Structure 1
Amino acid sequence: MAQSSAAATQLRKELKQMQKDTDIPGISCGLVNDNNIFEWEVMLMIPDEVKYYGGGNFRAHLHFPPNYPLMPPTFTFQNPIPFHPNIYPSGELCISILHPPEEDKYGYEDASERWSPARSPEKVLLSIISLFSDPNPDSPANVEAARLLREEKEGKHKEFRKRCRACVRESLGEE
C-alpha cells in the first residue's frame, strides 16, 4: 500500500505540473474521476500540419498501475478510435515506451526503447503525439492500417489517407 500511496503522490504532482505547463501544445489532461488519481482523461489535439491525422481531437484514458513508476501506464483511445497502425481495434495503444521494462522476448525492441521509471506522463504523451506524425507499420497493432499505409507509401492508392481523414472528421463530431 505504501508504494501505491507514493505513486498517488507522484501522479498528483505530475498532473498538476502538466495542467500548469502551457508549453505542451496539443495535450490536455484531467481525471476521469476526481477520486482516482490513477486514471487520467487525455485529449490529444493533433496539429493541422500532421499529414494523416491533422486537426483531429482524440480522447483517451491513461491508466497508471499501483506500482507506478516502476511499471508503465496503459493508454486506451475512447470513441472514435483512430485508424492507426499502432492502435488495436479495442483502442489500446501499442508503443515501445509503454512496454514493461524487461527483455523483449522477440528481440524487436531494445531495452532503452521500453518503459523506464525516468519517463514522465508528459514524455509519454509527447511520444504518442509524434506517433501520429510518424506511424510505425513495422510493428502493427492494426494489421489492416499498416498494410494500407505501406501500400499508400508505395503509391498504390490513397485508402489509408481516406480512412484517417474520416476518423478525424468523426473526432470533430462531423460524421
Structure 2
Amino acid sequence: MASQASLLLQKQLKDLCKNPVDGFSAGLVDENNIFEWSVTIIGPPDTLYEGGFFNAIMSFPPNYPNSPPTVKFTTEIWHPNVYPDGRVCISILHPPGDDPNGYELASERWMPVHTVESIVLSIISMLSSPNDESPANVEAAKEWREMKDEFKRKVSRCVRRSQEML
C-alpha cells in the first residue's frame, strides 16, 4: 500500500515541478520522505491575506489516496477554518464517507481523486471565503462575524509577520 502511495506522490511532485501552479509552491521537507511536503501559499489577491506567504506542512498517510493528508500551517494565521495550532479544517480533508455529525455530505469530504494541487487550491479558496458556520477557531469566526476591524487587524499582523520571515 505504501509503495502505491509513494508512487502516486512522486508523480504529483513531478507534475507540480513541471507545471507549477500560481498561488503556491510545494516540495518535500526531506528528500528521503515522500510523505511529508512543505507548502508555501501566497495570500490570494483581493483578500485580507494578500501579500502574505504562509508555510504549511502536508503529511500524507501510508494509505493515500484512500485517506486524506493533514495540513498544518507553520506560519501564524488567523482564520475561522484554521485551528489555533495551525491545523486546517476543510471538508475535503475530512475522512471519506458520511459525516457522523451530519454537517457535511459524503460528496464534500475526502475522495481519492484529490491531489496536492486540488487540496492547496481548496485551501486558497478557504482563505478567500471563510466558512464561519462550522469553525475550527471559534474566536476568529466570532470576530469575522461581529468585529470585522479586529479580525482584519489580526490578519494584517499575520501577513506582516509572514513577510518578515522571508
Task: Flag whether TM exceeds 0.5 (same fold).
Answer: yes
Report the counterpart of residue 65 of structure 1 in structure 2: 61
Report the counterpart of residue 73 of structure 2 in structure 1: 77
Q: Please tell me whether residue 112 in structure 1 is matched to residue 107 in structure 2.
A: yes
- TM-score when scaled to structure 1? 0.91
Report the counterpart of residue 25 of structure 1 in structure 2: 22
Offset of residue 49 of structure 1: 1.7
Amino acid at match of 1:5: S
Structure-to-structure mapping, 1:94-133, within 5 angstroms: 94-133=89-128
Amino acid at match of 1:149: W
Q: Please tell me whether residue 48 in structure 1 is matched to residue 39 in structure 2.
A: no
Amino acid at match of 1:7: A
Amino acid at match of 1:56: G
Report the counterpart of residue 10 of structure 1 in structure 2: 8
Q: Which runs of 4+ in 1 moved over 3 A?
A: none
- TM-score when scaled to structure 2? 0.96
Report the counterpart of residue 164 of structure 2 in structure 1: 173
Offset of residue 37 of structure 1: 0.2
Q: Please tell me whether residue 163 in structure 1 is matched to residue 161 in structure 2.
A: no
Give the gaps of 5 or more residues in structure 1: none
Offset of residue 46 of structure 1: 1.4
Q: Percent identity?
A: 51
Offset of residue 64 of structure 1: 0.4
Offset of residue 67 of structure 1: 0.2
Amino acid at match of 1:166: R
Give the gaps of 5 or more residues in structure 2: none
CA distance in 1, matches of 2:125, 2:97: 24
CA distance in 1, matches of 2:73, 2:116: 16
Report the counterpart of residue 35 of structure 2 in structure 1: 38
